[in-house]
Structure 1
Amino acid sequence: MAVRDTDAPAEKGLARTAQALARGTEKWFPDAYIFALVGVLVVALAAFANGSSPQNVVDAFGNGFWDLTAFTLQMAMVVLTGYVVATSPPVARLITRLAALPNNPRTAVSFVALMSCSVSFLNWGLSLVFGGLLARAIARRRDLSVDYRALGAAAFMGLGAVWALGMSSSAAQLQATASSLPPALLRITGVLDFGTTIFTWQSLVMCVIIIVLTVIIAHFSAPTGAAITTAEALKVDLDDTIAEPPTRTRPGEWLEYSRVLPILAGAMTLGWLVSQLLSKPVLSVVSSLNGYLLVFLMLGLVLHGTPRRFLDAVARAVPATAGILVQFPLYAAMAAILTKSEGRGGVTVSEHLATFFTEVGGGGAFAVVIAVYTVILGLFVPSGGGKWLVEAPYVMQSATDVQMNLGWTVQIYNVAEALPNLINPFFMLPLLAVLGLRARDLIGFTFLQFLFHFPVVLLLVWLLGTTFTFEPPVIPA
């Protein structure tokens, strides 16, 4: 495998720009948890400025800290189920076959970007691990020298481009699940199933356009020739051999190695899914977050074949959920301070923000204003679901006030929410663990994607938004 010559000519074009961007972003960006802590302080200061008493603010902080306990577990399970499915033997064999398809370095990078975005439409957790393992498999090829940093950045494109436009979108899943919605938000929006968000033709068109743009940029920003830095040059161990579980030694372990139990559990899950599809509208079934997680978890069990292999995969997946578990309570606290800590005249910060967006978002500018705001806030709160709960009460109230379609407002948030991921490395963490790289190795390439995506996203949310009409929310009894 070729190793980069340190005396070789520097990269040119987009590849050169990507590396220049990497040096600055890695130097100045702290850990994502720091952003969350700072966010709590900023929100608290905003509440004080609004006239809230210290007692009201700390009460809202403490009382709201665990408001997202159920949703936190659900989001952690999205990551875990994606990891378990991606590391199963059948998927591993599929990855090996796919890795043999590209025939040159740039095609390999753009191919990984395409696969990452495509899989992300189904499950963003699956996309991270699947893309990372595909990048490693391509890097192991002896007949093809590919820049490992560009491969890694391409593997992240599902999270940096279209994840929130897919079926595992935290905001869309939340809006489609009445039991997960805070009562204050439910009274504003009602329940919005995937037919009003993910599966509108406007959202699907936007998704396709962004995927095409992502693949093109990945292709032309990939270093070639002497500018390539391989995994070997980066001293990355590419051995993905997974040790087989030890041979059972006690009678009590027999069921751990049984293939019958996973098959029976899979059959029960399939029976439940069929029953749901026969008794409920299809969109309400596929929009159910709990049902979605059940299917993916049992699919992972079936694909691993035995409970022992499945449990080993779960143990490897758990560390990737750490960031979600410790950060989501902070997002819940932020949302509580914004919506419950009353200031002068009994008005909350959330209500002030709703008034502001209503005033500046008239005349067709609402979509652009919300998208820009979402990107900025996303740099400090890198969480699709957690941040939606912070934004949604005032954003959706503003959308109602300016007669913007509520389903499209969710999609404006979704497409804009992905953009900060290209700069803030929080969601890179599980992928970096798979790749054996650091954020600085990827972020130059992803920052370059951001520079192209940002204006395109603003144009799309404005143009496609003009095709919608406002529909009043249906509030459940």
Structure 2
Amino acid sequence: MQTLTRYCLKFVEHCLPNALLLAIALSLIVFLLGVTVEGQSAITMFNGWGNGFSNLYQFAMQMSLILLTGFLIAKTPIVSRMIDRLAAIPKTPSQAAGLIAVVGMVTFYINWGFGMIVGAFLAREMGRRVKGLHYPLAVAAAYSGDIIRGTTASIPLLMATEGNFMEDVVGVVPITATLYSWWNVGLSLVLLFLLYYVFTRVKPETEEIQQFKGEPLENAVEKVDTAGMPWAEKLEYYRLPNILLALLPIGYLAINFHQLGFNLNLNLVIMIFLTIGLLLQPNPASMGKAIKEGILSCRGIIIQFPLYAGIAGMVKASGLADSLAAWFVDIATVHTFPIVTFISAGIVNIFIPSGGGQWAIQGPIMLEAAKTLGADIPQTIMAFTWGDAWTNQMQPFWALPLLGVAGLSARDIMGYCVMWTLICGATIMAAFVLLSMI
């Protein structure tokens, strides 16, 4: 474990540019592949980039709001106390890293935005408290929990929805056959125990340890003397405005869930997070302060999401994703198809780090092939879902919000994330090999 970790750290230190430079490099690579491998003209590639550039505007705003509303919750006294109590449990760096990893994966399972924020704040607090805990390792442990596919996994939820774009090919595939099948739940539990084991065994050299030096989380409500303030300014320090505003999303959510059931999507998650933040924040002034701090954490999302949308536009326009998927299909058999799907999804995910967008491009090819080969459809869906999650572990795109809160760069944590990528990838492939034998 130590040897693998040291090798991954050295590789990242010498070979990985920062997140923005990586996005630029991937843009150039895809452009050149489209021209040289697919034989597309430069005009086609330019148009693909330009047409794709704006495709993630809405998604970037949604991710920013998930981050901001998650920040809003994390910066409330009750959540700060919860993190404070969790941070008091471990007594050694290994125990701290293991607990961060477990809490990270559990909260990621509930929701991506919540896991990102809670994991980052827990890593900060433990990095400050636990003597000898290497802060980049703590942040990497928090992010590595993102491997889990939980209640809001977009691909299996989409395939379980009537009217989805592949219904005429494979029908509606219920989540009891994919996300909540016995074998997928078992794989999720294996990954949870494996994540804990891995991060409790990684021990940086003493001279490499970087202790977190930031400020502790605020548990107390700031006391402000409102005497002599105009009434309009005094309102900023009363809870009532928060509660009155919270009544609007509460009413909407109650009606929505009553009429449509518990149909979570990104917009509803943002609204739920906002509602919880409004109810837990002591007053509008405190809420405004938390939002101000959270906005700084969104800076990576704002520019890099459109760059990756441009990359996805070039991949789609050039036919690169189709060619890669078709090549994998040609070499697959009925037994190896889920593993081939997993690897294919993982490779394309590096260039299109959006599960829904990637599924729209590759999904029809993979499901048509699975049907032709007689491969298991639910396993194919989950193999693709896990493949999308797999290379997220070494793709800075999804780590940007967490890194913004943690105050680190991608290079600081990616050595550990690459190590985890290799281990979890081998584990997931082994699971699908065993399934093919049953």
Structure 2 length as normaliser, TM-score?
0.83
Aligned to 2:237: 257
Aligned to 2:55: 67
Aligned to 1:133: 121
Cα deviation per residue 1:120-149 (whole Å; 9 max; x = unaligned)?
11122322331222223234437x543434
- Is 1:363 the counterpart of 2:334? The answer is yes
- 87-96 or 378-387: bigger deviation: 378-387
- Is 1:31 the counterpart of 2:3? The answer is no
CA shift in 2, pair 1:298/1:157, >3 Å: same
Q: Secondary structure at the match of 1:121?
A: helix
Cα deviation per residue 1:20-48 (whole Å; 9 max; x = unaligned)?
43122122111333343344444444444
- 375-384 or 84-93: bigger deviation: 375-384
CA shift in 2, pair 1:250/1:423, >3 Å: same
CA shift in 2, pair 1:399/1:42, >3 Å: farther
Report deviation, 1:96: 0.7
Aligned to 1:94: 82
Task: Report the Cα distance in structure 1 between the residues aligned to 2:292 and 2:132, rounded to whole angstroms.
Answer: 33
Which runs of 5 or more residues in structure 2 are unaligned?
none
- Is 1:237 the counterpart of 2:214? The answer is yes
Letter in 2 for 1:64: G
- Is 1:167 the counterpart of 2:167? The answer is no
Aligned to 2:9: 22
Cα deviation per residue 1:429-456 (whole Å; 9 max; x = unaligned)?
4434434444444333333322321211
Task: Report the Cα distance in structure 2 between the residues aligned to 1:396 and 1:305, rounded to whole angstroms.
Answer: 50
Q: Tell me which of 196, 200, 225 is aligned to 1:215.
A: 196
Task: Report the Cα distance in structure 2 between the residues aligned to 1:338 and 1:437, rounded to whole angstroms.
Answer: 30
Aligned to 1:5: none
Task: Report the Cα distance in structure 2 between the residues aligned to 1:253 and 1:174, rounded to whole angstroms.
Answer: 47
Aligned to 2:97: 109
Q: Tell me which of 122, 140, 150 is aligned to 1:153.
A: 140
Asked if structure 1 preserves the Cα contact closer than 8 Å seen for 2:345 and 2:384, the reply is yes
Identical-pair percentage? 28
- Is 1:279 the counterpart of 2:259? The answer is yes
Aligned to 1:475: none
Q: Tell me which of 159, 163, 185 is aligned to 1:204.
A: 185
Aligned to 1:474: none
CA shift in 2, pair 1:70/1:50, >3 Å: same
Letter in 1 for 2:256: Q
Which runs of 5 or more residues in structure 1 are unaligned?
1-13, 342-347, 468-477
Asked if structure 2 preserves the Cα contact closer than 8 Å seen for 1:262 and 1:306, the reply is yes
Measured on the aligned residues, the alpha-carbon RMSD in Å equals 3.6
CA shift in 2, pair 1:266/1:388, >3 Å: same
Cα deviation per residue 1:276-330 (whole Å; 9 max; x = unaligned)?
3333344xx13x2222221122212222132332232222222333333323334
Map 1:53-64 to 2 at 5 A.
53-64=41-52
Letter in 1 for 2:19: A
Task: Report the Cα distance in structure 2 between the residues aligned to 1:77 and 1:195, rounded to whole angstroms.
Answer: 30
- 83-92 or 252-261: bigger deviation: 252-261
Asked if structure 1 preserves the Cα contact closer than 8 Å seen for 2:125 and 2:216, the reply is no
Map 1:66-465 to 2 at 5 A.
66-141=54-129, 145-159=132-146, 161-162=147-148, 165-169=149-153, 171=155, 197-223=178-204, 229=209, 231=211, 236-241=213-218, 244=222, 249-282=229-262, 285-286=263-264, 288-340=265-317, 348-385=319-356, 387-389=358-360, 391-392=362-363, 394-404=365-375, 408-464=379-435
Report deviation, 1:195: 5.1
Letter in 2 for 1:33: L
- 438-447 or 381-390: bigger deviation: 381-390
